[in-house]
Amino acid sequence: MTVQTLKTEVIGNGIGGITKEKVEIEKERMRGADMVVRALEDEGVQVVFGFPGGAVLPLYDALYDSKKLKHVLTRHEQGAVHAADGYARTSGKVGVCIATSGPGATNMVTGLTNAYMDSVPVVAITGQVPLSSIGKDSFQEADITGITLPITKYNFLVKSVEEIVPTIQKAFYIAKTGRPGPVLIDLPKDLTLCEAEYNHNGNFDIPGYRLPEMSGNGVLVKVVDLISQAEKPVICAGGGILKSGSEKELLALAEQLDIPVAVTLMGKSAFPENHRLFLGMVGMHGTAYANYAVSECDLLVGIGMRFADRVTGNVSNFASNGKIVHIDIDPAEIDKNVITDLHVVGDARAVLSRILELAGQKHLPAWNGKIAAWKEEHPLNYENKGEGLKPQFVVEKINEITGGKAFITTEVGQHQMWASHYYKSVVPRSFVTSGGLGTMGFGLPAALGVQIANPEAVVFDIAGDGSIQMNIQELCTAVQYQLPVNVAILNNRYLGMVRQWQELFHDSRYSQTDISCQPDFVALAKAYGCDALRVDNEEDVLPALEQAIASPKPFVIDFWVEREENVFPMVPAGGSINKMIRG
């Protein structure tokens, strides 16, 4: 709390002197730990996820008195980062997580890498041994700034108590501006016990960190010219659309110019999936019609996407029949994977708004008619002969009962691809998955963050029986904080995606992918305090989903699905995306 002191000053001599009152602002002195809490509050943080330990004890002592910060105690530090990640993706705010030094900090590495690959704004605060003990192999010491240098947008080792508040301000600014990403602050324990003046100031400078200016109007005019000339254009939308909040501009552009829209995995929910212009996902597990459209288009406009290998396949054959335009806020992504004909550096929302102003109306009946024929000829489908419960059927029913308006998180594997195909998202930022890193164990803790950010929403973690066991301890976190997340386990008793590759490319030699030795997930969930059911037939799927959604408690449904069901379409690694295994 800032203290105001009233002081009286007499100017002049004797009886005729003039008296002037002035208010002097005295900055409050406080411990470094209290500075951290106050600075987080001043940044507008409402929720932090974490796990305490020796090096952050003073910080947790300060959190004890905070009336503005809600701390969520996860059961593992990786879970804390994933929860902060899910919170950030669906709230549009910066996610915050805390861990102690040494193993606490290193347990965050996977979560930070995941956030880095998927451009998620997270600020991680790690405890560190006292400054005088650094470099001496002290108890629970790890060089976390060195370890995380390649997997964070920036990181800091705080070296004086006076640096604490400016460092937190800089961390939040870096995490959320430009292309978002995680920032780590390593905080030696002794600094949290030292006292200094609280020095929050919005006027700070970060040498070497400057946001790129948007490409000039001349380039945008050229982009509009290419679009106006194109007869078979396609837009490919990535996660940058969601990060910039430009879903409305993307929809307006697609409708104004009659251009079909494909999405990357990270771009799912950026475009309403019940729209006539929606193509589905492109790439290795993309829809056949999306891959055919990209392969045959005469202009591909990539917006907020990286042209990653899972999207392009063999880059020499990717969109080789047309020109490529790339719009992205990060100049480092331009021409990194695919050489473009034109590029625009800038925020997607600002760029699309300007293109909308410059572009006219357009209709493409022939091109969209051809795509409609592909959709008719090559739909997403699966054989359902009544021989067992199909995982695709389960996802379809989740979509049906929620109307595509739930928030979906996923783990990683076959279930992730089935969710991306058969769940039709119509709400922006509502599909949360691990894209770049492909992190098993992401979905459950991410769902906790999503539920906290969206307390009135229905939240489902669509999981596999392999992935769910990576961070299943976070069911306890859900119970403790009364978070009604729903977990749908598509249980095939295999590490399904790895088994599928073994079937297709290694003569069905299932080396170490049979995980039929597993816990009773219903009994385990109930032991944690959740409600739970097992379902193994179609008739019970909808009633189970209705029961889960109605429950005020976390709910786990163990769906026993056909063991060797595969994800199709599929492009073999390094293959051309128009040459798919159809199944």
Report the CATH number at residue 224: 3.40.50.1220
Q: Is 497 a catalytic residue?
A: yes
Residue type, 509: R
Asked whether residue 266 falls in the same domain as residue 153, the answer is: no
Residue of 35, 51, 77, 318 marked active site: 77
Asked whether residue 227 falls in the same domain as residue 351, the answer is: yes
Asked whether residue 159 falls in the same domain as residue 63, the answer is: yes
Asked whether residue 369 falls in the same domain as residue 397, the answer is: no
Tokens 């308006």 sit at which residue?
405
Asked whether residue 276 falls in the same domain as residue 178, the answer is: no
Identify the pLDDT of residue 202.
73
DSSP β-ladder status, 299-303 and 95-99: unpaired
Identify the pLDDT of residue 204.
74
The answer to whether residues 210 and 178 touch, using CB atoms and an 8 Å cutoff, is no
E-strand spans in 469-530?
486-491
Asked whether residue 406 falls in the same domain as residue 548, the answer is: yes
- Rounded distance, CA 64 to CA 71, Å? 9
Task: For residue 245, tell me if it sits in a domain.
Answer: yes
**Residue 105 — left, alpha, or beta (φ > 0 → left; ψ -120 to 50 → alpha)?**
alpha
Asked whether residue 156 falls in the same domain as residue 225, the answer is: no
Residue with the larger pLDDT of the pair 295 and 206: 295
Residue range 197-209: mean pLDDT, rounded: 83
Exposed (0-12), middle (13-18) or buried (19+): which is 217, by Cβ within 10 Å? exposed
Peptide bond into 569 cis (omega under 30): yes
Identify the pLDDT of residue 386.
67
Asked whether residue 419 falls in the same domain as residue 548, the answer is: yes
**Residue 483 — left, alpha, or beta (φ > 0 → left; ψ -120 to 50 → alpha)?**
beta
Dump pLDDT digits (tens) for 472-527: 999 999 999 999 999 999 999 999 999 999 999 999 999 999 999 999 999 999 99
Tokens 């949290």 sit at which residue?
192
For 65, the domain range is 29-197
Identify the pLDDT of residue 26.
58
Identify the pLDDT of residue 215.
82
Nearest CA-CA partner of 543 in 528, 559, 530, 527: 559
Asked whether residue 253 falls in the same domain as residue 287, the answer is: yes
Checking if the pLDDT of 17 tops 60, the result is: no
- Identify the domain boundary among 328, 354, 377: 377
- Identify the domain boundary among 168, 197, 226: 197
For residue 22, CA distances in Å to 14, 28, 199, 220, 361 come to 20, 19, 22, 55, 64
Alpha carbons within 13 A on the beta-carbon side of 145? 15
Identify the pLDDT of residue 23.
46
CATH number for the domain that contains residue 174: 3.40.50.970
Q: Is 247 a catalytic residue?
A: no
Task: For residue 385, tell me if it sits in a domain.
Answer: no
Q: Is 397 a catalytic residue?
A: no
Residue range 168-191: mean pLDDT, rounded: 97
Residue of 27, 68, 139, 405 marked active site: 139
Q: How confident is the model at residue 536 (pLDDT cuts 50, 70, 90)?
A: very high
Residue of 284, 417, 497, 580 marked active site: 497
Q: Is 232 a catalytic residue?
A: no
Dump pLDDT digits (tens) for 424-447: 999 999 999 999 999 999 999 999
- Rounded distance, CA 105 to CA 127, Å? 8
* 380, two tokens: 């997403």
The answer to whether residues 300 and 226 touch, using CB atoms and an 8 Å cutoff, is no
Asked whether residue 301 falls in the same domain as residue 420, the answer is: no
* 25, two tokens: 């602002």
Task: For residue 555, tell me if it sits in a domain.
Answer: yes
Q: How confident is the model at residue 459 (pLDDT cuts 50, 70, 90)?
A: very high
Task: For residue 574, tell me if it sits in a domain.
Answer: no
Asked whether residue 175 falls in the same domain as residue 313, the answer is: no
Identify the pLDDT of residue 5.
41
- Rounded distance, CA 250 to CA 238, Å? 11
pTM for the structure as a whole: 0.94
* 283, two tokens: 């790439």
Residue of 153, 170, 176, 189 marked active site: 189
Task: For residue 509, tell me if it sits in a domain.
Answer: yes
Residue range 79-92: mean pLDDT, rounded: 98
Asked whether residue 133 falls in the same domain as residue 94, the answer is: yes
State the maximum Cα–Cα separation within the chain, in Å, rounded to a whole number. 106
- Rounded distance, CA 411 to CA 86, Å? 12
Residue type, 442: F
* 462, two tokens: 């669509």
- Chain centroid, CA 136 distance in Å: 37
Beta-carbon contacts of 106 under 8 Å, excluding residues fewer than 6 positions away, are 142, 144, 147
- Chain centroid, CA 190 distance in Å: 34
Q: Is 438 helix (H, G, I), strand (E, B) or coil?
A: coil
Nearest CA-CA partner of 412 in 453, 343, 462, 354: 462
Sequence length of the chain is: 583
- Rounded distance, CA 292 to CA 133, Å? 60
E-strand spans in 414-458?
431-432
Q: Is 26 a catalytic residue?
A: no
Task: For residue 501, tell me if it sits in a domain.
Answer: yes
H/E element holding 292? helix 288-296
Tally of domains within the chain: 3
Task: For residue 212, tell me if it sits in a domain.
Answer: no
Task: For residue 8, tell me if it sits in a domain.
Answer: no
Identify the pLDDT of residue 268.
98
Identify the pLDDT of residue 205.
79
Residue of 140, 473, 518, 547 marked active site: 140
Residue range 44-58: mean pLDDT, rounded: 98
Checking if the pLDDT of 6 tops 50, the result is: no
- Identify the domain boundary among 342, 377, 412: 377
Identify the pLDDT of residue 211.
85
